[in-house]
Structures are given as structure tokens and as C-alpha cells.
Structure 1
Amino acid sequence: MIKIGFIAAHNSIEKVKKLKTLFQDQCEITFIPYQEIKEIKDLYEQNHLFYDGILLGGKLTMYFLQQEFTELPTQTFYLEITEGDFYKNLFAIQHQQKDLSFSRVYIDFLHEYPDSMGLQDVLGEDELPYSFECEYTEGIYERTFQRHLSLWRQGKIDLSITRFSNIVSRLNEAGIPNMFIFPSEASVLEQVQQFINELQISNLQDNQWAIGIITIENLKDQSDLDFKQVLLHKALLEFNKNTNSLSVIQKQHANFEIITSNAELKNLTNDFTNCSVIQYLNETLPFRVNIGWGIRTTLCQTKKAAQTAIKKAESNEIPCAYVIIDNEDVIGPLGSDSCLHYSNKIDPEIEQLSKTLEISNLYIQKIMAVISKMQTNELTADDLAYHLGHTLRQSNRILNKLEEKGAAKTLYRKQEKLRGRPKKVYKIDFRNYRQNKNH
């Protein structure tokens, strides 16, 4: 069952305690309250690994965490005040206090919304409530309360509307008429259900099968194969003893097959950037191996993807690892500076481009991947040879053909040394080529 940790101010948690029973068939919710902003970072670090997702009481908590973390390591979602909730509360206020002017109201969260929750469209400039920029750091509760208090004492406001439950008691003590706005029950239920749905989809993806096929380089004969397979099997068992990441390790004729999950493979490859399995094996064994990883929705599709991936690895000049993920994206060789991410899917536009340029669909996909990786469409034959694993002659042939067809042009020749032949730099522009052809 999905586990959700709900980090929020103590008073906000009181508003949503019934969530625990309402969603008990879909998830397990644990409430993690805080009193002070400074507690949030520690609470998140101490708890996020134990949950599939972290739910936050509001935007303030999310803002604070985003300042502390470059990237939140666990799926994190916060409860938002919808426009429906906002205007429902404003209508209730207007109904109870018919003579109240919104120009004499302070709303301490209105600055978070570029259009003031749409109020700028319905109220005149002199009718808008008070709203001030706010720094989301420690002391925000005190600063916000003091702003309410100052406006009240100056006689500028008749009502305070706040999103911060932790200052409500202080507003009451100061005698300031106030309203605490929190998402309605219907809105909370809808938002939590959306979060649960997202977590379920994510879990399905993480639990997909991932298969790795490992082949041995430069085999001489059957006795050589038998000897190396024994060493490889032992090394895989040692690796798994240290990581506990492989569900199955089994010999398949001349290779080994290892099975894990999508989530584990992401860890083993650092999100498909390098491969700790092949690093360990090639450092441990007296011979080299290749690995092809596949991730698909069914076991049969996963195995086919792994078989395609191992062929790509074996065609590389040096032992390496490739991965083919569910949407048919190819990534590899992992851990290499020449690693590319491109698609195996048949794109109608690229297929048409392939016909007119008389260059294979795959080459075009790879060239596009090189351009994306290098963040420039100005390439030399050396650049292409390095990233595609080709000879200079092959790369020159491709670039010359692109130039002949009008999809590339020579910009200048780069003289890297005082001696030797200068190198051509080609500017490749598939987009303009397609547009010109269409016209």
C-alpha cells in the first residue's frame, strides 16, 4: 500500500485528520506536525525515505524546502488554495459584513499569485486588499504577524485573512478580526486523490521489469567460455551481496541474464548516466564484458529490448553498457563522454527526411542527439566519429552527403595546430532543410 507522510503546521493537521480514514483503502497517511519553519528541513530529511510521497500543508512549506534542496528526492505535493475556495470564503465574508471594503483587508498570501487570484480583474486599483511581498525564511510567522498588527494599529484594516494557521491564536489575542483560509474538504479530497493517482502511476513504472544481458568479450573456445562464466557468476554474486539489487542471476547459453526493477536500475545506473554493474565487473574480472539493459511493460518485451541493447553494446569499440527504456529511447554507452540519448521510434517526419537525404533514419536520430548533447549544430567529422563510434572516413561521407543535399554547409575551417590540414566545420540545419523542401 502507498505510504504518504503529511508535513504541516500542527493546526493545519487538525483540519485534515479525517483523511486517514477516508483514504485508508488506498494509502496509509502519517501526520508529521511542526511548530516552527526551521523544523521543516529536518523533518523532511528524517522522514522522506520512509514514504512513497510527501504531502505538504501549503505552498509556504514547499517554498521553504525548495530553498533548502536543489531537487526534492521524494515525490512531494502541497495542498493549494483553489480560486473556488478563495472566492467562496470572500463571498461568505461579504455576506456577513455587507459594509466591508476589501481595500481595508490584508490578505497575507495574495502576493503569491501574479494576478492576485483574479481580484485585479474584478476590483478597481483603489479597492484591492493589502498585499506585500514576503521572504520565505525563518521568522516568517513573526514578520507576517507584525505586518497584520501594524496595519491594525494604524487603523488601515478591519479584517485580516491569513493562510498561516500558526499565527491565528496571536491575531485573536491582539483582538484583530481574522479569517484563516484552508482548502475546503472537497478540494482537499480532490487534491489528495490526484497525488495518490500520481504515486500509483510512478510505482507502476518503478516496479516494471528491468533485464540485463551480459556477454563476454573475445571468447576463444568452449573451455574458455566455461572458465570465464564461472568467474563472471562469482563476481555477480559478490556484487549482489554488496548491493542486494538483483532479483535473478542466471546463465543463458553463452551469456548471463540478470533481472531487477526499473527503480533499482535507476539506482544502479545513476538515472541512466553510468552503470555500476559493468564498472564492478570490468574492475574485478581479468576479462571484459558488455551489458544490454531493457525496460518495458512485459517480461517478453523487456527481454527483446535487452537483446537489442546488448547488440548496440557489442558493436561499440570498447566494452560498455546500453539501456533501452520503455518509450524505445536508447541511451549509451553509459558512463562515456560519447553517451547519447536518442529514440528508436519511427517518426514520420524523420522517415521522410531519411528518404530525401538518403541517410538512414537511425543516423539522423543519432546526429540530432549529438547536436542536442553538444548544444550546437556546428560539428566536425571528428565530433561525429567520436560520438557515433565511426571512422573519420564514415563521418566525412555522412557530412558531405548532408552538404550535397543542402542540409549542411561549411562555415569555416578550424586550424587547431599551426601544422597539419585544417578541419571543416559543418553547420547542420534539418529544420530549415525540411521547410525549404515543403515550399
Structure 2
Amino acid sequence: MKICVFSTNYSYRWLQNIHKLDIENVEFDIVFYKDLQHLTEIFKENYLKYTAVLCSGQIPYLHIKKSCPAEFASIPFQFIDITERDLYFHITKVQYENPGFRFKDALIDFLYEENNYLSLKEWLPEEDFPYTLSTSIQVFGEPNAYELVAKRHLELLEEDKIKYCFTRLTNLFTYFSHVDVMPILVTPSLKSMEAAVQKLLKEVEVYNLTLSQVVCGHLQFTFAENDFLENEYRQVALYKAILDFNRKFGYSLVIYRSSLHNEIITNFSDYLHITNDETKCSLATFLHEQLPFKVKIGWGIGQTLAIAQAQAEKASSYCLKPFTESYRINKEDKLLGPLDGTNAAAIVEQAHSFLEEIAKETNLSIFYLERLYDMTRTFDKNSFTAEEVSIHLSVSTRTANRLLKKLTEYSYAAIIETLATPSGKGRPKNLFDLRLEQPDDTD
């Protein structure tokens, strides 16, 4: 596997250690960018050459996610994060050199909700907590992220509120030429880099499984009222046209005929080719040119063939125009389309506004709520232990328990069973039922 690692020249001093990782069948190629505009350009030029992409930090990761959403979604992507171990290593060093060090005299710009403030909030009193850049990692996705980080540090220094500037931005020192304080650079350890790469390799596995998932297409022709022969002709003509499409473009779509519709089965990889990465459906174009009647095309993908079939049939019901159209419903029940080239996978669906309401009510991060909701869809169930939640959200079991406890307080979760450990020793585990349904989910 070839992994592209995007970085600035400033980060190369620590990032070059990635070549020391002993990971079989993985080759790293470090590509440098001068600024964020240059990053966008070289990413678009290079990403198709690689199995996956890794960023040296959250700024290039979030910038690509915002500036190139289609390309970002088409390849496994991760960034190397600072871990609790990395932070405490540097804190210990500073405390040794400065016995009077206090957390409240510092700004640590890489603490935010998404990394659970590296667990500092679990033991450090609020009055002693360090200054932070923002409550969310999303601030690093702003076009002027570097300037925002520097401004925050410098303003607090000028106001004499801090004495220590902890940062993971290797170029932050370039903004400090006119002040006496130098930022304390916290860089990921080799162990943190390995953890990020292993996480990325898991994403590659999931991505490859996704490409091999079964996709169902539901093709329904318009019926001619009270004309049995015409309907029989349309059924045969549609079947023949799909065969011609297979032959002309080299696909191997499996076709099933019924009196009401035709169904095709393919894999996700071929589906992406047929729909040009969900922008324009070549099958819809071909059938429009070949047949004198309208065909409704719906695509569906799910954990099982039955779910994919149901999604495909539902997607086809959105084809309301008087000509052949194509829509898709994805595993999050979002409707994408029409796939006609004018709308690159437009989402015709309400955003998860109900999760935003839950976030306001419970004071929990929307980031965690979205991942919990996606868990229920991915695994097609609502019941999880705190240990399962911690694994899938990449948080500590303590944090998972805190999230579940808060959801339980507001009736968005409930303990439905207490599970004894297999050995009969140790604390029993609670099984929580998550109740994060959309308003229509219960209809």
C-alpha cells in the first residue's frame, strides 16, 4: 500500500520518523505543501496515485475535507493526532524546568471536545484549567487557521494572562518574532504516528469492503394503461437495453425480471463507475437514448440485500419527471440525486437537525451524537455497552460511560440489561438502548 503524507517543511523534523515504522507492505511518500492553496492543488493532482492519505495535523486534514469534499470522501483519510501520552511527556518536562508551572498559566491550542480535552477535564478543576483555542476542532478548518491560532496566543500573552504557549503547529514560532516567549512545540511520538497509521489501515479495510458491497438497482418502466401488449413490449425492451448496456460498457450487471420491474445487482465499485462517482448516471443516459418510454432508476445499498432492495425501490419513487431519472438512497437514509450531471450528489433530505436539538438539550457534542447515531445505522441495532461505544468512538470507557449517562438522564438512552462478566468476577456491564431516532423513524 502506498500512503501519501501531506506536511509542511516545518514538520519534517518529527514526521520523517514515520519511515521507522515497521509495518509490512506499507510505503510512505511525504509530500510537502507551501500553503493551503498549494495543498489543494497537489492533493487533487496526487490522491489517485495512493491507497490512502495521511496528514501531519488537523489543519491540512480539515482544509482538504472542506475544499475537496468529493475527493476527500473517495479515499481513506486520517491525520496524526496528539495523544494524552504526548501531552503529559511535554508537561512533565516543562514542570521539571519550571517548578512553578500552573496549567491555568498556559494556552494549549490542541484541546477540544473531539479529543475529550485529552482527559484533562476529568481531573483538573475548572479554575485551574488551561486556556484553549476553541471548544471544537473545526476552527482548524478555517482558511486562516494559522493566523487564528497565532492571534489567540499573542493576545493572551499581551494581556499577561498566560506564560506558556503549548502548540502542535511547527510554524507558530514564525509569528512570535516580536515577543520574548517562544511556543512549546508538542509533536506526536512514534507511537502516536503508528496509532494513526493503524487507524488509517482499518479505514482502508472498511473502504475496500464498501467497494465490494452489494448494490441493488430498481428499474421500473411507466405502464401503458389497459394495454397488455405494450407493457409486455416495454418489459422486454428494458431487459434487452440493460443487456446492451452491459455489452457496450463491459459491465456484468446481474438482471432479474418481474412483471412490475427489473432489478439489477452489482458491487459498489461498479456502481461508482456507472454513476461517475454519483454525479451522472450513465445507465439513465443510455436508457433515455434507447427507449421511447420513461424508466425510474433507484439505487440502494445496505448491510443486507433485502435492505438494499428496499432502499432502491424507495429511491425510484422519487423519479417524478416525465423522463428517465436516477436517484440513490444511501445507508444513512439520505436521498442523493437526481444523478444527471447538474447536481453532484445533491442531498434531498433534512440534515440531522434532531441531533442538534439533542446536543443543545444535553450539552453534548454534536460530533459524538452523530457518531452514535451512525453506529446504530451501521450495526442495525440500538443496544451497546460502554465498552463497545468507547471502541467505535475512539474514546476512553470513562468518557463513553459519561456520554451514555447523560443521554440516559434526558431519556435518549436507557439501561435495558445488566450483563455479568463471563468469569463471574469484576463489575457487571450495563447494556444501553440508544434512542436517537429521527421524528419519522417511529412513524
Q: Under a length normalisation based on structure 1, what TM-score does the superposition of the two structures give?
A: 0.53
- In structure 1, the residue matched to 2:434 is none
Report Cα offsets for 1:221-267 as digits up to 9, x if no partner.
Answer: 9xx89x969973784267x44xx6x2478999x99997753122145
> Superposed, which structure 2 residues align to 1:23-422 within 5 Å?
25-68=24-67, 72-74=72-74, 75-110=76-111, 116-120=117-121, 121-123=123-125, 125=127, 127-133=128-134, 137-142=142-147, 144-145=149-150, 148-149=153-154, 157-168=162-173, 171=176, 176-208=181-213, 232=241, 235-236=244-245, 240-241=248-249, 246-247=251-252, 260-268=266-274, 276-286=282-292
Distance 1:287 1:321, change over 3 A: closer
| Structure 1 residues 209 and 130, CA gap change in structure 2 (3 angstroms) | closer
2:15 corresponds in structure 1 to: 16
1:55, distance to aligned residue in structure 2 (A): 2.1
Q: CA deviation at 1:166?
A: 1.3
Q: Are 2:301 and 2:312, in contact at CA under 8 Å, matched by a contact in 1?
A: no
Distance 1:198 1:230, change over 3 A: closer
Match for 1:46: what amino acid?
A: E
**CA shift digits 1:262-319 (9 cap, x unpaired):** 1221453588899642452243135777889897999xx89xx88x989x99xx9x99
With over 3 angstroms needed to count, the CA separation of the structure-2 counterparts of 1:295 and 1:107, relative to structure 1, is closer
Q: Deviations over 1:381-416 (max 9, x none)?
A: xxxxxxxxxxxxxxxxxxxxxxxxxxxxxxxxxxxx
Alpha-carbon contact 2:301-2:329 (below 8 Å) kept:
yes
**CA RMSD across the alignment:** 5.8
In structure 2, the CA distance between the partners of 1:6 and 1:173, relative to structure 1 (3 Å rule), is: farther
Q: Given that residues 167 and 183 in structure 2 are in contact (C-alpha distance below 8 angstroms), is that contact kept between their aligned partners in structure 1?
A: yes
CA contact (8 A) 1:172 1:178 kept: no
Choose 1 or 2 for highest CA Rg. 1
Aligned letter for 1:141?
Y
Residue 106 and residue 185 in structure 1: after superposition, are their counterparts in 2 closer, same or farther (change >3 A)?
A: same
TM-score (norm 2): 0.53
Q: How many residues align?
A: 334
Q: Identity of aligned pairs, percent?
A: 24
Q: Judge conservation of contact 1:235–1:281 (CA < 8 Å) in 2.
A: no
Distance in 2 between residues matched to 1:326 and 1:173, nearest whole Å: 53
- State the distance in 1 between where 2:255 and 2:44 align: 38
User: Is residue 5–residue 29 contact of structure 1 (8 Å, CA) maintained in 2?
Assistant: yes
Other-structure match for 2:387: none
Gap runs ≥5 in structure 2: 340-347, 350-438
Alpha-carbon offset, residue 116 of structure 1:
4.9
Tell me which residue corresponds to 1:353. Answer: none
CA distance in 2, matches of 1:431, 1:60: 36
Distance in 2 (CA, whole Å) between partners of 1:232 and 1:109 is 57
The equivalent residue for 1:381 is: none
Alignment-mate amino acid for residue 245 of structure 2: L
State how far apart, in whole Å, the 1-side matches of 2:105 and 2:6 are.
33
Q: Which amino acid aligns with 2:73?
A: P
More contact order relative to length (CA 8 Å, sep ≥ 6): 2
Measured after TM superposition, the shift of residue 322 of structure 1 is 10
Which residue matches 2:390? none
SS at match of 2:24: coil
Q: 1:131/1:248 Cα in 2 relative to 1: closer, same or farther (>3 Å)?
A: closer
